[in-house]
């Protein structure tokens, strides 16, 4: 099987370096892959070869993550609005006219904001544990929601356990039937970046601002109802953060949505990349070219 080369590139957006992976024919339909917490475009390393045989694939690292710039949290506003502003700038700089988006975790509120602002650009949405409904939030959000309600230093400090190595591994392994399928470089690379000086404060700022995403759920849902985008929800059904009802809820606003569950946890691509890749290719066949 021939697989296309993956190029590792950088773009300067609003003064920040944005790292991205690119593969596949430039004249093929485009898919933009948006990663989540605490990872980077590295999470798509096994999916990109599957998609890039027939499609043009671009996967950036969000500011503060992976190999993109990580300005100090006192010099840069780590909010989801600002992350979106930089990804919108990235889209504009690369002159991306029409594309499908794959959104996961943090990539979902960024991707949904992009879709709301650019409905004419979106050919389809793949949401892999990328939530947009209150019923999708598990009780593991309680400590973060406490910080939203009472943004004290005590509640902020309590969330530092979320960026520790044990928690990162817990996110990768929870709900996984065969832990030997999870590549150790995945959580090791994530933890490497989390352990960089100043990164803990970046993540705590984003934990606090995640409340803005929940506040926008009605806006996202209105977009789904109005635009009726083609949507595939590919969900690890044992995700400790985002529950299956959050996947089913898409059908409420997009009756034609496809919902597929996989016997795995949050980072479903670690264990089910071939199955999810096949679902995406089938989904892409139905999209406008």
Between CA 69 and CA 64 the distance in angstroms is 6
Contact 129, 154 (CB under 8 A): no
Contact 102, 31 (CB under 8 A): yes
Token couple for 163: 């960026």
The three-class DSSP label of residue 179 is helix
pLDDT at position 4: 78
pLDDT at position 3: 65
Residue of 35, 42, 56, 266 with catalytic role: 266
Instruction: Give all strands (DSSP E) within 30-104, no chain letters.
Output: 30-34, 56-60, 99-104
Instruction: Give all strands (DSSP E) within the chain, no chain letters.
Output: 6-13, 16-23, 30-34, 56-60, 99-104, 122-128, 231-236, 258-262
Token couple for 93: 């700089």
Q: What is the mean pLDDT of each run of 10 residues along the chain (289 residues)?
A: 83 97 97 98 98 97 98 98 98 98 98 98 98 98 97 97 98 98 98 98 98 98 98 98 98 98 98 98 90
**Can you say whether the dihedral through the CA atoms of 239, 243, 246, 249 is positive or negative?**
positive
Backbone φ, ψ for residue 152 (5° rounding): -90, 165
Residue that has been written with the tokens 């979320």 in this structure: 162
Domain borders along the chain are 6-284
CATH class, 6-284 region: alpha beta
266 is catalytic: yes
175: Cβ contacts below 8 Å, ≥ 6 apart: 236, 237, 238, 239, 240, 264, 265, 266
Residue that has been written with the tokens 């504009």 in this structure: 92
Residue 278, number of CB atoms within 10 A of its CB? 12
Token couple for 164: 């520790």
């Amino acid at each position: 099987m021939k697989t296309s080369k993956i190029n590792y590139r950088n773009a300067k957006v609003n003064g920040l370096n944005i790292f991205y992976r690119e593969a596949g024919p430039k004249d093929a339909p485009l898919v933009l892959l948006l990663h989540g917490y605490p990872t980077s475009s590295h999470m798509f390393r096994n999916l990109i070869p599957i998609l890039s045989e027939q499609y043009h694939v671009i996967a950036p690292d969000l500011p503060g993550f992976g190999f993109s710039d990580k300005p100090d949290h006192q010099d840069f506003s780590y909010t989801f609005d600002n992350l979106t502003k930089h990804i919108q700038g990235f889209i504009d700089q690369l002159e991306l006219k029409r594309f499908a988006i794959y959104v996961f975790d943090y990539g979902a509120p960024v991707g949904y904001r992009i879709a709301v602002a650019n409905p004419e650009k979106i050919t389809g949405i793949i949401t892999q544990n990328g939530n947009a409904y209150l019923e999708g939030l598990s009780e593991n959000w309680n400590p973060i929601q406490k910080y939203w309600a009472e943004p004290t230093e005590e509640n902020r400090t309590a969330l530092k356990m979320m960026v520790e190595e044990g928690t990162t591994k817990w996110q990768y392994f929870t709900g996984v039937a065969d832990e030997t399928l999870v590549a150790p470089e995945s959580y090791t690379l994530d933890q490497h970046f989390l352990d960089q000086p100043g990164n803990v404060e970046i993540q705590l700022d984003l934990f606090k601002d995640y409340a803005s995403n929940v506040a926008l759920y009605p806006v996202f849902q209105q977009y789904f109802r109005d635009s009726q985008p083609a949507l595939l929800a590919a969900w690890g059904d044992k995700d400790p953060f985002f529950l299956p009802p959050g996947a089913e809820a898409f059908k409420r606003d997009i009756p034609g949505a496809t919902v597929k569950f996989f016997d795995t946890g949050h980072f479903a691509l670690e264990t089910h990349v071939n199955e999810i890749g096949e679902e995406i290719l089938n989904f892409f066949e139905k999209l406008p070219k």
